[in-house]
Amino acid sequence: MDYLAGLNKEQRAAVEQTEGPVMIIAGAGSGKTRVITFRVAHLIRKGVDSFNILVLTFTNKAAKEMRERINSLVGTEAKNIWMGTFHSVFAKILRVEADKIGYPNNFTIYDTDDSKSVIRAILKEMNLDDKLYNPNFVYNRISAAKNNLIGWQEYQNNPQIQADDFSSGRGHLGKVYETYAARCYRAGAMDFDDLLFKTNELLKLHPDVLNKYQHKFKYLMVDEYQDTNFSQYLIVKKLAAVSENICVVGDDAQSIYAFRGANIQNILNFEKDYPDLKVFKLEQNYRSTQNIVNVANSIIANNKEQLKKNVFSEKETGDKIKVVRAFSDNEEGKIVAEDIMQFRSTKGLKWNDFAILYRTNAQSRSMEEALRKLNIPYKIYGGLSFYQRKEIKDLIAYFRLTFNPNDEEALKRVINYPKRGIGDTTVDRIIVAADKHQLTPFEVILNAGQYVEKAPASLHNFATMIQSFQVITKNLPAYDAALHIAQHSGLLKDLYEDKSVEGLNRYENIQELLNGIKEFSEREDIEEKGLDVFMQDVALLTNDDNDKNKDADTVSLMTIHSSKGLEFPYVYVVGLEENLFPSQMSLNSRSDLEEERRLFYVAVTRAEHKLSISYATSRFKFGTLISCEPSRFLDEIDPKYLELDFTAKPAPSVGSSSYADERTAWSRGNNSGGDSFSKPKPQPVKTTQVLAKAHVPSPDFKPSDTSNLQVGMEVEHERFGFGKVISLEGNKPDIKATIFFKEIGQKQLLLKFAKLHIKN
């Protein structure tokens, strides 16, 4: 049986090209994951040792899905493949090699909150204004430097960087970076960026280590290559330098993470690194209808920097894409919620067939309110994940401290939780003593009588407890060790005694964490099942991996960034307004604007069957109602694929939240006075000219008798506003009037349907 028979011609060619550098340009919905998994399976079937294959992804979810598919094709050999996220794979290597760059093998991995906590402490110690040196800004500045492989020494010695910092009044950033790096090193901790930064350092300073992994990984595959940053690019290039059997898969049209350091040039210029490159383009979209694909193509065609491809669909033509105008963000939410309710009831759909996508999290408010009013269940993705809840972080901090007592952030988190009489003053004295004597805080605690004035006896008890946990974890399985720590730390008892609803939820969350550890310890696909291994898995979870209830029957609400990689039968993209989408921040350069356009492309290509796009003509911003104009991106969509819905009525009075219920369906280009801008006369009328301003009819507006309409008369149209009759043609009852409207230009309307009000 030909196991490749199910692939199309281009997919199969990409799978069978196993040797040398390969780039697979995979359009949206083109079966990218299928090609990667079959390619890996094909390598193994050809006799390549599965231990010599490295597959890098951006989420653990993607890696797990690929491994399961490969397992179905080649069996248990799939377990031997080095497959995972960049961070998880190189954390695994660093666990073995970290001592070569001065780190313990049991180093802690700091998440974003841990890193910002360290930065806040440093800013406080240096007496720096936390408004000027906002911890989020400082963290992002350091992160960007690491992603570009700029260490603190180079940061301080770079004239351009220093000039930028001093001109912005932040001349101490270099010192903050230096102190932050030293503090992490002392704690035996690496942040997420360090996992790549330190891997680059390891491979640069130790050619023997580089040589070892170059010969180990004889075949490399990188998924979502358009999302790689400079640090990731360099690691991959170094590892592939010997065999050059490297295959990168991605879509430049879906490069949307520049704010995280992703560099689209990595995929655009890949051929410069490998002149012998073989390029395969996966252009058939198996996900979306033809109309949706056509809309996506017309959008992305406006980008100058791109790898040209002709994405097509052989699915049904599908409905035209509805463009909805609302008079406010609240009405926009009401329209979307009503639409979802109607489709679900008339077509027998589930709630999870629907997704609402927006540019910023703040837009969820109006959507949530509208869904709640109709009792529609929904879930917001990208919110607080399970592992970011306080009680979960508290117990995990105990685990971290057990395996790495030098972990200062974990120590500060639990030293007095549950309360054991160790106040903030004592903790400050411990930190000061540690800095003064070049010790870790835990080393100070072990000798508290020597270093800490008025040291409470509970410090000794705390140190003894942590040391006992270290002994226990060496002799007990992961679940038993975790349960022991939860019980003997006092955390479980403290939560159990809180009988409030919140307390009960926190206690149940701890039980859920323990259940997760139990499941982990019973997995058959991993050999090492200690609590320390579980801890590493948790530390490396990506945002897409945290949620355990994604199959719940709820409408999905998320930012477009969060939606990448997902698909839904019915998709609503809301807030298509200038300065919102594209965002105001993106209007400073072509590259930023093109990234926003790629983001719109990603949003559109999440839809399988039906796509709706909406915008509001007014929206509250910082408590003020502002006027909005439709996004320039709407202008870039070929109008023949659109159906315009401008039937929403304005609020009957200021301050009222109700709207007229009458919504007369209409489509443009018909013979009933509908919008005919697809064939403008005498000059093209841009989509946004039609969308731009929602005309509010005059108080005395009502359709007039037009049987005596004459050229030169001034009229008002319910949607198009005020205009003057230019010409009349035809015979009753099919007389057509050509009217020039002040806001949108010239229109030809059939009088019997036009509903014009003749001005006196």
pLDDT computed for residue 660 by the predictor: 24
Pairing of strands 53-57, 82-85: parallel
pLDDT computed for residue 673 by the predictor: 33
The answer to whether 448 is a known ligand-binding residue is no
The proportion of the chain whose per-residue pLDDT surpasses 90, expressed as a percent, equals: 56
CATH value of 387-541 in 3.30.930.10, 3.40.190.80, 3.20.20.80, 1.10.486.10: 1.10.486.10
The answer to whether 754 is a known ligand-binding residue is no
Catalytic residue among 108, 254, 559, 617: 254
User: Rounded to whole angstroms, how far apart are CA atoms 597 and 576?
Assistant: 12
The answer to whether 33 is a known ligand-binding residue is yes
DSSP annotation of 650 = P
Instruction: Please indicate whether residue 710 is annotated as part of the active site.
Output: no
What is the strand order of the sheet 721-729 is part of?
Answer: 745-750, 736-741, 721-729, 714-717, 756-758
E strand segments, 117-238: 189-191, 219-222
- Please tell me which residue, 229 or 536, carries the higher pLDDT value: 229
Tell me the mean pLDDT in the region 382-410.
87
Report the CATH number of the 312-380+549-644 domain: 3.40.50.300
140-179 burial, b if ≥16 CB within 10 A, otherwise e?
Answer: ebbbebbbebbebeebeeeeebeeebeeeebebbbebbbb
Residue 120, CA distances (Å) to 135, 414, 434, 584 in order: 6, 18, 18, 29
Radius of gyration, alpha carbons of the chain: 30
The answer to whether 26 is a known ligand-binding residue is yes
User: Rounded to whole angstroms, how far apart are CA atoms 140 and 42?
Assistant: 41
* Secondary structure string (H, E, C) spanning 452-510: CCCCCHHHHHHHHHHHHHHHHHHHCCHHHHHHHHHHHCCHHHHHHCCCCHHHHHHHHHH
What 3-state class would DSSP assign to 154? helix
Q: Which two tokens stand for residue 192?
A: 């997420």
Phi, psi of 747 (to 5 degrees): -135, 150
Confidence of residue 657 (pLDDT cuts 50, 70, 90): very low
User: Rounded to whole angstroms, how far apart are CA atoms 608 and 589?
Assistant: 32
> Does residue 689 register a pLDDT over 50?
no
Q: Count H helices, E strands: the chain?
A: 32, 24
Mean pLDDT of the residues in the chain: 86
Bridge partners, residue 355, by sequence: 556, 571
Residues 500, 506, 509: CA angle, nearest 5 degrees: 145
**pLDDT tens, position by position, 213-237:** 999 999 999 999 999 999 999 999 9
Would you call 369 exposed, middle or buried from its count of C-beta atoms within 10 A (0-12, 13-18, 19+)?
middle
Specify the domain boundaries for CATH 3.40.50.300 within the chain.
9-100+197-282, 312-380+549-644
User: Rounded to whole angstroms, how far apart are CA atoms 110 and 190?
Assistant: 6
Superfamily for the 693-759 domain: Hemimethylated DNA-binding domain (2.30.30.390)
Instruction: Please indicate whether residue 686 is annotated as part of the active site.
Output: no
> Does residue 550 register a pLDDT over 60?
no
**pLDDT tens, position by position, 606-649:** 999 999 999 998 887 655 677 888 999 998 998 899 988 766 54
CB proximity list for 347: less than 8 A, separation 6 or greater = none
Specify the domain boundaries for CATH 1.10.486.10 within the chain.
387-541
Pairing of strands 219-222, 82-85: unpaired
Q: Are 8 and 284 in contact (CB under 8 A)?
A: yes
Tell me the mean pLDDT in the region 116-120.
93
CB proximity list for 720: less than 8 A, separation 6 or greater = 695, 739, 741, 743, 744, 747
End-to-end Cα, the chain, rounded Å: 81
pLDDT computed for residue 651 by the predictor: 39
Whether the ω angle into residue 682 lies within 30 degrees of 0, i.e. cis, is: yes
- The neighbour count for residue 495, using CB atoms within 10 Å, is 22
User: Rounded to whole angstroms, how far apart are CA atoms 82 and 1?
Assistant: 28
Whether the ω angle into residue 697 lies within 30 degrees of 0, i.e. cis, is: no
The answer to whether 28 is a known ligand-binding residue is yes
User: Rounded to whole angstroms, how far apart are CA atoms 444 and 103?
Assistant: 20
DSSP annotation of 51 = G
Instruction: Please indicate whether residue 224 is annotated as part of the active site.
Output: yes
Q: Are 48 and 218 in contact (CB under 8 A)?
A: yes
Would you call 27 exposed, middle or buried from its count of C-beta atoms within 10 A (0-12, 13-18, 19+)?
buried
Q: Which two tokens stand for residue 735?
A: 């007389």
Catalytic residue among 67, 281, 334, 606: 606
Catalytic residue among 224, 332, 594, 608: 224
Which helix (H) or strand (E) element contains residue 81? none
Instruction: Please indicate whether residue 17 is annotated as part of the active site.
Output: no
Catalytic residue among 191, 223, 391, 595: 223
Whether the ω angle into residue 733 lies within 30 degrees of 0, i.e. cis, is: yes
> Does residue 688 register a pLDDT over 70?
no
Which residue in the block uniquely carries the two structure tokens 């010695």?
157
- Please tell me which residue, 611 or 305, carries the higher pLDDT value: 611
Q: Which two tokens stand for residue 627?
A: 């006027």
User: Rounded to whole angstroms, how far apart are CA atoms 596 and 593?
Assistant: 5
> Does residue 674 register a pLDDT over 60?
no
- The neighbour count for residue 658, using CB atoms within 10 Å, is 10
Confidence of residue 142 (pLDDT cuts 50, 70, 90): very high
Confidence of residue 574 (pLDDT cuts 50, 70, 90): very high
Confidence of residue 507 (pLDDT cuts 50, 70, 90): confident
Q: Does domain 9-100+197-282 have CATH number 3.40.50.300?
A: yes
Q: Which range is least confidently modeled, 291-305, 676-690, 701-715?
A: 676-690
> Does residue 664 register a pLDDT over 50?
no
User: Rounded to whole angstroms, how far apart are CA atoms 309 and 25?
Assistant: 8
Amino acid, single-letter form, for residue 60: N
pLDDT computed for residue 182 by the predictor: 94
Q: Which two tokens stand for residue 355?
A: 């997704």
The answer to whether 30 is a known ligand-binding residue is yes
- The neighbour count for residue 1, using CB atoms within 10 Å, is 4
Catalytic residue among 11, 12, 32, 402: 32
Amino acid, single-letter form, for residue 730: G
Instruction: Please indicate whether residue 254 is annotated as part of the active site.
Output: yes
> Does residue 343 register a pLDDT over 60?
yes
Q: Are 658 and 652 in contact (CB under 8 A)?
A: yes
pLDDT computed for residue 684 by the predictor: 38
Instruction: Please indicate whether residue 49 is annotated as part of the active site.
Output: no
**pLDDT tens, position by position, 460-496:** 999 999 999 999 998 888 889 999 999 999 999 998 8
E strand segments, 155-267: 189-191, 219-222, 246-250
Phi, psi of 400 (to 5 degrees): -60, -45
Closest alpha carbon to 633 in 713, 683, 572, 577: 577
Would you call 86 exposed, middle or buried from its count of C-beta atoms within 10 A (0-12, 13-18, 19+)?
buried
pLDDT computed for residue 667 by the predictor: 28
Say what the pTM is: 0.76
Q: Are 322 and 342 in contact (CB under 8 A)?
A: no
> Does residue 149 register a pLDDT over 70?
yes
Tell me the mean pLDDT in the region 720-738.
86
The answer to whether 31 is a known ligand-binding residue is yes
Bridge partners, residue 557, by sequence: 356, 380
The answer to whether 151 is a known ligand-binding residue is no
pLDDT computed for residue 551 by the predictor: 65
Catalytic residue among 33, 290, 467, 746: 33
Closest alpha carbon to 188 in 414, 409, 489: 409
Q: Are 190 and 110 in contact (CB under 8 A)?
A: yes
Tell me the mean pLDDT in the region 232-253.
94
Would you call 686 exposed, middle or buried from its count of C-beta atoms within 10 A (0-12, 13-18, 19+)?
middle
Tell me the mean pLDDT in the region 718-745.
83
593-596: Cβ within 8 A, 24+ apart = 594/303, 594/304, 594/305, 595/255, 595/256, 595/258, 595/264, 596/633
CB proximity list for 265: less than 8 A, separation 6 or greater = none
Q: Are 120 and 112 in contact (CB under 8 A)?
A: no
Specify the domain boundaries for CATH 2.30.30.390 within the chain.
693-759
